[in-house]
Amino acid sequence: MDIKENILMERYELGRLLGQGTFAKVYFARNLTTGQSVAIKVIDKEKVIHVGLVNQIKREISIMKLVRHPNILQLYEVMATKTKIYFALEYAKGGELFDKVANGKLKEQTARRYFHQLIDAVDFCHSRGVYHRDLKPENLLLDENEDLKVSDFGLSALAESKREDGLLHTACGTPAYVAPEVITRRGYDGDKADVWSCGVILFVLLAGYLPFHDSNLVEMYRKIGKSEFRFPSWLQADVRKLISRILDPNPVNRITIPKIKENAWFKMGKCSKEENADKASGSGTITNVAEDQDSMNPPNMNAFDIIILSPGYNLTTLFEEHVQKKEARFAIWQPASAIRSKLEEIGKCLGMKVSKREAGLLKLDATTKGKKGILSIDAEIFELAPSLHMVEVKKCYGDTLEYQKVLDERLRPALQDVSWNMQGVEQDQRVQPEQHEVLQHP
Could you tell me the pLDDT band of residue 285, with boundaries at 50, 70 and 90? very low
- What integer best gives the mean pLDDT of the chain? 81
182 confidence band (pLDDT: 50, 70, 90): very high
The predicted structure's pLDDT at residue 4: 62
Residue ranges and CATH numbers for the domains of the chain are 3-90 (3.30.200.20), 96-262 (1.10.510.10), 303-439 (3.30.310.80)
Task: Report the sign of the C-alpha dihedral through residues 201, 202, 205, 210, in that order.
Answer: negative
Q: What's the half-sphere exposure (Cβ side, CA atoms, 13 Å) at 422?
A: 16
Q: What is the CA 442 to chain-centroid distance, rounded? A: 33
The sheet carrying 140-142 orders its strands as: 95-96, 140-142, 148-150
Q: What per-residue confidence (pLDDT) applies to 276?
A: 44
CB-based contacts of 14-23 (< 8 A; 24+ apart in sequence) = 14/40, 22/47, 23/47, 23/48, 23/51, 23/53
Predicted local distance difference test score (pLDDT) of residue 334: 78
Q: 95-96 and 140-142: which strand pairing?
A: antiparallel
pLDDT for residue 310: 52
Mean pLDDT check: name the lowest of 91-100, 159-168, 345-354, 368-377.
368-377
Q: What is the pLDDT of residue 323?
A: 44
| pLDDT reported for residue 403 | 87
Mean pLDDT over residues 250-266, rounded? 96
- Return the pLDDT at 429: 33
Higher pLDDT, 65 or 232: 232
The catalytic position among 123, 134, 189, 194 is: 134
Residue 312: the pLDDT is 46
What is the model's pLDDT at position 335? 81
Query: Measuring CA to CA, which residue among 270, 236, 8 is closest to residue 116?
Result: 270
Q: Which residues are annotated as a binding site?
A: 41
> For residues 117 and 123, what is the distance between their CA atoms, to the nearest angstrom?
10
The pLDDT confidence band at residue 418, using thresholds 50, 70 and 90, is very low
Query: What's residue 286's pLDDT?
Result: 31
What value does the mean pLDDT take over residues 205-225? 95
> What pLDDT, in 10s, does the model give residues 342-385?
888 888 888 888 887 666 788 888 888 887 778 888 888 888 77
Q: Can 165 be counted among the known catalytic residues? A: no
> Using CA atoms, how far apart are residues 133 and 261, in angstroms rounded to an integer?
21
* Number of Cβ within a 10 Å radius of residue 386: 7
Q: Give the C-alpha separation, 391 to 330, whole Å.
A: 5
Binding site residue list for ATP:
41
Q: Is it the case that residue 71 has pLDDT exceeding 50?
A: yes
pLDDT surpassing 80 at residue 214: yes
pLDDT of 221-248, one tens digit each? 999 999 999 999 999 999 999 999 999 9
pLDDT for res 277: 42
